Amino acid sequence: MRKQAKEVNLRTLIKAAWLARDRAHAPYSGFKVGAVLENDKGQLFSGCNVENANYTTGLCAERTAIVKAVSEGALKPGGIRRMVIAAKADRPAGPCGSCRQVIEEFAGEDTRVVLTNEPGKVALEFTHRELLPHAFNARDLDKE
């Protein structure tokens, strides 16, 4: 039986997401976002949004964190345990549609997504299925 890695304290994840937000490159919109994911081994990978003068080539914080984890060999489909997304706003800022689809690709059955719009505070928490119900995923590509 494989031993389950210990979960990281949620406070630690929230703090890491806000630190990632501080590193965002958002000179055009001024809207900084940070994200941190915890994989199934308890490792943390952070990301921030990176804007570009050509708006369409910018990267979101959520996808930056996921790509970092994948490129380090630390994330496979089903491997996200939790993801925390930090953005200073009047209301919690959820991931864009593209990020929701990428989260779905790497989410596990019990993956939780936490939104924080104030340092140290949880604004919303939900499952990845609530984030993207009826998601298109690898099962839809199975050929019979």
Tell me: is residue 50 an annotated ligand-binding position: yes
Q: Quick check: helix, strand or coil at residue 49?
A: coil
CA-to-CA distance for 144 and 10, rounded, in angstroms? Answer: 42
| Cβ–Cβ < 8 Å for 8, 40 | no
54 is in an annotated binding site: yes
Q: Which of 62, 72, 105, 130 is catalytic?
A: 62
DSSP of 96-119: PHHHHHHHHHHEEEEEEEEEESST
Q: Is 48 marked as a binding-site residue? A: no
Is 99 a known ligand-binding residue?
Answer: yes
Q: Which residues contact 10 (CB under 8 A, 6 or more apart)?
A: 82, 84, 114, 122
53 assigned binding-site residue? yes
3-state SS assignment for residue 5:
coil
Token couple for 120: 């140290």
Question: Is 144 a catalytic site residue?
Answer: no
Binding site per annotation, positions: 49-55, 60, 96, 99
**Residues annotated within a binding site for Zn(2+):** 60, 96, 99
Q: Output the known binding site for substrate.
A: 49-55
- Report, as residue numbers or ranges, the catalytic residues: 62
